[in-house]
Amino acid sequence: MARLHLVRHGETTANVMRRLDTALPGAALTDFGARQGVRFGLENRPEQEAVLVSSEARRARQTAELIGSVWEVATESVEGVHEVQAGELEDRTDREAHDVFHDVMEKWHAGDLDVRIPGGESLAMVYERYIPTVEDLARSYLTGTDPRDVFLVSHGAAIRLIAARLAGIDSRFAAATHLGNTGSIELEYVDGVWVCHRWGAKTAPFERVDEPLVDDPMG
């Protein structure tokens, strides 16, 4: 069965600086981030032709292009799957800004969809723009007579929130389980139901955890 792979982009200058970088177009990949993209392509080459798309953010497009250069497939960007928007916290690196972002993410993982990042998004808003794009990709490529795997290069916080919502993953597991640069989550769409097979290095079944939200909520 064809699967959806939600892939976090490679390392960026903002990741290194711990800068809240969410607005488009955003930071570029570092040299190391570019090598991560190439390595992902080498280590995850699909057996059959796959679909390779990305968010509109520069770092995601660059990562997808590097993967595509290894696979010799074209890439395209799609709307709606960019990172959670940090609003008034954008471009900040200070502890206070990270704590505010962290606290909102904690509330989201606890089930409060409507609390907003100051000047930014609520989780309900993220769902509203992101999930329809995933559903369109599922209809176009994961089902029908010619199903193909889809690799969507996106962003750490958004990927974890969306994967947990789609597949009904325990919120504490999603909150505590980090997804590093070019880490990925693998989902299958079976009879209208999303099933998560792999989350980073962890494979299903996933157990509830009691650890706090990862210190870097973007990952």
Omega before 132 within 30 of 0, i.e. cis: no
Which residue is it, tokens 């909102």?
104
Q: How far is CA 72 from CA 8, 29, 50, 99, in A?
A: 20, 20, 11, 42
Kindly report whether the peptide bond that precedes residue 205 is cis, defined as omega within 30 degrees of 0: yes
CA–CA distance, 115 with 101 (Å, rounded to integer): 11
Looking at residue 144, its pLDDT comes to: 79
Residue with token string 């962290």: 102
Instruction: Give the pLDDT of the chain (219 residues) as one tens digit per residue.
Output: 789 999 999 999 999 999 999 999 999 999 999 999 999 999 999 989 999 999 999 999 999 999 999 999 999 999 999 999 999 999 999 999 999 999 999 899 888 999 999 999 999 999 999 999 999 999 999 987 889 999 999 999 999 999 999 999 988 888 888 899 999 999 999 888 999 999 998 887 766 655 555 556 666
Stated as kind and residue range, the H or E segment containing 197 is: strand 193-199
Structure confidence at residue 205 (pLDDT): 73
